[in-house]
Amino acid sequence: MSDQPNILIIMSDQHNKHVLGCYGDKIVRTPNLDRLAAQGMRFDNAYTPAPLCVPARMSFMTGRTPTNNQVWGNHGLLDSGIPTWAHVLGLAGYETSLIGRMHFESHDQYHGFENRPHG
């Protein structure tokens, strides 16, 4: 068993933080997300580098601006030579998996992830 901590990143699509119990919503019940927020890390002051899905997600994956990624629109392709945090985690000994939508539309659908189940 590894001594490395588990890393779980959840990215929802068009989710407003104000409809989570951990941010004070009294109507919507989100006990599992609240527990993850209490025991993990929240990015309360994060912002998007682009108002479009694909450039924003590629910036999230690479830590680079849309201009540096050369992905400006929702039909942009991330060059497979640009490293992502999945590459870095893999080099550090993590097994990486991606489940869900990340808009990887190029021939390299993995961009550093070892596992990408489709279904």
Q: Annotated catalytic sites, by residue? A: 53, 103
Residue 119: per-residue pLDDT: 47
Same domain, 65 and 40: no
Nearest-angstrom CA–CA distance, 33 and 58: 24
pLDDT over 80 at 47, yes or no? yes
Same domain, 90 and 68: yes
Q: What angle do CA 65, 118, 1 make, to 5 degrees?
A: 80
Q: Output the average pLDDT for the chain.
A: 90
Print the domain residue range for 27: 1-46
Q: Using CA of residue 26, residue 7, residue 60, residue 101, what is the dihedral sign?
A: negative
- Nearest CA-CA partner of 98 in 64, 48, 57, 65: 57
Same domain, 19 and 58: no
Q: What is the DSSP letter of 109?
A: S
Same domain, 31 and 68: no
Buried b / exposed e across 17-42, counting CB within 10 Å, b at 16+?
eeebbebeeeeeeeeebeeebeeeee
Nearest-angstrom CA–CA distance, 29 and 114: 34
pLDDT over 90 at 103, yes or no? no
Same domain, 76 and 22: no
pLDDT over 80 at 108, yes or no? no
pLDDT digits (tens, 9 = 90+) for 66-86: 999 999 999 989 998 999 999
